[in-house]
Amino acid sequence: MKSNYLNIGIWTFALFFLHACTPKEVRQIPLEDFFKNSEKTSYSISPDGKYFSYMAPYQNRLNIYIQEVGRDTAIRITNETERDIAGYFWGNNNRLLYLKDTGGDENYQLYGINLDGSDAKAYTAIPGVRTTIIDPLEEIDSLIIIGTNQRNPQVFDPYRLNLETGEMTLLAENPGNIQGWMTDHDGKLRVAYAIVDGVNTQILYRETEKEPFRPVLTTSFKEELNFETFTPDNKLVYAVSNLGRDKAALVIVDPSTCQEIEELYANDRYDIAGIGYSNAQKKITNTGYLAHKGMKRHFFDKEAETQYKKIQAQLPDYEIGTTAMNKAEDMKIIYAANDKTRGSYYLYDVNKDQLTKIADLAPWINPNEMASMLPITYKSRDGLEIEGYLTLPSGYTLKNARNLPVIVNPHGGPWARDMWGYNPEVQFLANRGYAVLQMNFRGSTGYGRKFTESSYKQWGQNMQNDITDGVQWLIEQGIVDPSKIAIYGGSYGGYATLAGLAFTPDLYACAVDYVGVSNLFTFLNTIPPYWKPMLDMMYEMVGHPVQDSVMLANYSPALHADKIKAPLFVVQGANDPRVNKAESDQMVAALKQRGVEVDYMVKENEGHGFHNEENRFEFYRAMEKFFDKHLKNDKTE
């Protein structure tokens, strides 16, 4: 009898334990909640601090709104209905400038409008011409410096633009190899960055705008010396450099010789990423690096550090950053977010140490319903440490996650990186019951020169192995069901998706390719004209179509479509200037010819990724059905 009681106790405990380890049923959140436009986003503030501005939907397109500080009402000053405004900024206290393209062609054109909605003006509305912002000249109310490729589609010339008259004054004629320009604190064009001999970069410098530019440093493109800003006296520059180093450091450089004068800060694991500079106080305040979990800062200025800590103390569970400030720098827009929220904007009064919330980007998102993004690491087959992120459906932990369906999600670029924070795609997939694996495979930025260079001419090879090794790590941990693994990515991530299907055909149950490269030959032949000066670098990084033809053929998924057997969903923008529609067309045609299941979605009014809200909804709705069909037990035809 005693034994029976014991057995009953054991079974009761076991049932309780199993119940405790089984995640509760999670509410299925409407798809639109993840992918609809933010309620309000891209907050900024006027130079005099009297108004703040933001973008919000009007007829499902992001437009600019203006609101007086201290008031509750705002006015909309733009009326774009074809496409979201791509970005905007204050030209002066009365005028805002914004960029937009046509149908995703990335030929951004510059427009201006007064804060009351009057005097709308197109500054560079030239078909087929792209505009870049070189310097908004925050200290000069009526002028900015822009770049356009109106003279030559392959290069950008710098112009000083008068916001009142629209007059553009050519500051220098690009000889054909200049890829970037830099001004000093007085708005004078002093520095140019060039490509020479195809694969070498060169810094050119001049003391005044009356002098010609002269070369002062030539290095391999693999080496980095990026001027961040001039010192307050306009004589030296703060720069990020990996010359003689693996990890890029913050240094002071003499721009007339490019001689390094002093190293200010370095990290032994990550590259330094930019600086903070106070125009009002005319001094450098901080630098930082993007670590495994968020940005880490190093301060040079005690006042700036104290201010940062005051704000962080009021938002202890969030990553924070200043997105805008007035000219006096006593009113700031603070953005705060983490892995479970799209983020919020706050107005910070420096003098009062007062933080006031002004907007949530997505107030309909409940953080308690979102999943945690877990930083993880694993070893590649050749011994590299790969940092990544694993997001499990809500309620699961690394201890109780077993045999889950998983979406492997390699990032685009490929010379970019994933980072810790809110990701609507990841949260959507986790809400639908999928684990999501992201990884910073070799070539991902921020990990030093050696890590970057280990990716050159490794598309489909060691770069792909890093992704495969992450999947194997998940399998070894018992977290995933080996029969329910999918891969999904965009741009280079789309290439990695197709490569995964072609070169490890038994690993994935299905895949989604979003504006991905399929044929390395056609990709290199269809890049935008303004990438042409960098083509020799692309050949070194990806491969040369003649000298490396065997390699490129071996690792072009479209040329190995005969190996693909898993169902595939391909998504493409018709106007994509980076990954031509032909990349998707040829893959779809090859698979259809063989009878492999392939779905194809093309949007005529999109480019490199879907920006229009209704197109995003349609894409993710189709993705959800596709994954449910091929990864869930209750597959439906």
Tell me which H or E stretch contains 103: none
576 included as an active-site residue: yes
Comparing C-alpha atoms, which of 301, 308, 312 is closest to residue 278? 301
On the 0-12 / 13-18 / 19+ scale of CB atoms within 10 A, 615 is buried
Alpha-carbon span 637 to 634, nearest angstrom = 10
Alpha-carbon span 405 to 432, nearest angstrom = 10
Q: Is 352 helix (H, G, I), strand (E, B) or coil?
A: coil
**Is 404 within 8 Å of 410 (Cβ atoms)?**
no
Task: Output DSSP code: residue 635.
Answer: -
Hey, CA dihedral for 522, 523, 524, 529, is it positive or negative?
Answer: positive
Comparing C-alpha atoms, which of 627, 457, 474, 470 is closest to residue 549? 457
Task: State the number of CA atoms in the 13 A half-sphere of 334 facing the CB.
Answer: 24
Amino acid letter at 446? G
Please state whether the peptide bond connecting residue 375 to the residue before it is cis, i.e. omega within 30 degrees of 0: no
Alpha-carbon span 266 to 251, nearest angstrom = 9
Query: Can you read off the two tokens belonging to residue 426?
Result: 């990841």
Tell me which H or E stretch contains 464: helix 462-477
Residue 310: count other Cβ atoms within 10 Å of its Cβ.
13
The beta strands (E) that lie in 25-135 are given as 41-45, 51-58, 61-68, 74-76, 87-90, 95-100, 109-114, 121-122, 131-135
Amino acid letter at 246? D
Which of 42, 344, 576, 630 does the annotation list as catalytic?
A: 576
* β-bridge mates for residue 286, sequence order: 276, 299
Which of 411, 560, 608, 611 does the annotation list as catalytic?
A: 608
Alpha-carbon span 226 to 138, nearest angstrom = 21
Alpha-carbon span 104 to 38, nearest angstrom = 20
Task: Output DSSP code: residue 607.
Answer: B
What is the separation of C-alpha 545 from the centre of its chain, rounded to a whole number of angstroms? 28
Which of 491, 518, 556, 584 does the annotation list as catalytic?
A: 491
Query: Can you read off the two tokens belonging to residue 78?
Result: 């733009």
Hey, CA dihedral for 619, 622, 627, 632, is it positive or negative?
Answer: positive
298 included as an active-site residue: no
Q: Do the bridges between strand 404-408 and strand 480-490 make them parallel or antiparallel, or are there none, so unpaired? A: parallel
Residue with tokens 């779905």: 599
Buried b (16+ CB within 10 A) or exposed e, 358-397: bbbbbeebeeeebbebbebebebeeebebbbbbbbbbebe
Q: Do the bridges between strand 385-391 and strand 373-379 make them parallel or antiparallel, or are there none, so unpaired? A: antiparallel
Could you give the C-alpha distances from 605 to 104, 410, 609, in angstroms and in order?
7, 26, 11
Buried b (16+ CB within 10 A) or exposed e, 470-509: bbebbeeeebbbeebbbbbbbbbbbbbbbbbbbbbeebbb
454 included as an active-site residue: no
Positions marked catalytic: 491, 576, 608
